[in-house]
């Protein structure tokens, strides 16, 4: 005679078998998980470009002057002053880095140091300047000078590097703008005098 099992017992046995199989690792979560209606792979492929996005947001909110032309302003009734024309003439004459260096030398914002490099001198500066912009200009100019000194040392291997640099500085100081700040002794700065 066969033992009789009820349907409730069969369901219980099936549930027990299912629980045992899941504990043994036969049943597991799928590899692809949906995240906000996208798979994790799609989200990774889409990428996040936070630096670019933040830069675009900042550039959209940075205050800047309205791009008005001189003709538009004159049509609105604006008449240029003598100061405006002088400033415009100055900016046309000094579009290059050397012109900015000369202007900063004359204002005492930077100086020609004894070692041949430019040095930023913010405490002596006459007028307001952007320290970051001055710093970048000084770094760029000093890098260019160092490259010249390295080239001189390579081409004249028999000469002393310090002597080459001193001769370069002496020649360079002849071309420095009149009134430009020069270090005459260690820590002693003064304007270049020119006799015409």
**Average pLDDT over the chain, rounded to whole?**
75
pLDDT for position 89: 55
The tokens of 95 are what?
Answer: 């579009």
Residue 164 lies in a domain: yes
Residue 98 lies in a domain: yes
pLDDT for position 44: 64
Mean pLDDT of 32-54: 65
Residue 147 lies in a domain: yes
β 110-112/38-39 pair status? unpaired
pLDDT tens digits, 104-142:
888 888 899 988 888 988 888 887 888 888 888 889 888
Q: Name the nearest CA neighbour of 102 among 187, 179, 184.
A: 179
116 Cβ contact partners less than 8 Å away, ≥ 6 residues apart: 145, 149, 165, 166, 168, 169, 172
Checking if the pLDDT of 95 tops 60, the result is no
Q: What is the pTM of this model?
A: 0.49
Structural domains of the chain, count: 1
Residue 142 lies in a domain: yes
The tokens of 177 are what?
Answer: 């703008």
pLDDT for position 93: 45
Domain that holds residue 94: 86-191
pLDDT for position 168: 85
């Amino acid at each position: 005679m066969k033992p009789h099992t009820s349907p409730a017992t069969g369901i219980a046995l099936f549930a027990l078998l299912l629980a045992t199989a899941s504990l043994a690792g036969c049943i597991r979560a799928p590899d692809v998980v949906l995240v906000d209606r996208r798979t994790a792979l799609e989200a990774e492929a889409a990428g996040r470009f936070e630096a670019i996005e933040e830069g675009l947001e900042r550039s959209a909110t940075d205050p800047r002057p309205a791009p008005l032309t001189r003709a538009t302003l004159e049509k609105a009734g604006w008449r240029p002053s003598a100061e405006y024309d002088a400033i415009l003439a100055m900016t046309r004459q000094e579009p290059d880095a050397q012109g900015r260096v000369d202007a900063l030398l004359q204002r005492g914002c930077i100086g020609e140091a004894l070692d041949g490099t430019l040095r930023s001198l913010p405490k002596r500066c006459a007028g307001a300047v952007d320290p970051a912009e001055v710093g970048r200009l000084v770094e760029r100019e000093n890098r260019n000078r160092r490259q010249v000194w390295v080239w001189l040392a390579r081409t004249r291997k028999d000469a002393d590097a310090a002597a080459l640099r001193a001769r370069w500085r002496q020649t360079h100081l002849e071309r420095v703008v009149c009134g430009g700040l020069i270090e005459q002794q260690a820590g002693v700065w003064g304007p270049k005098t020119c006799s015409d």
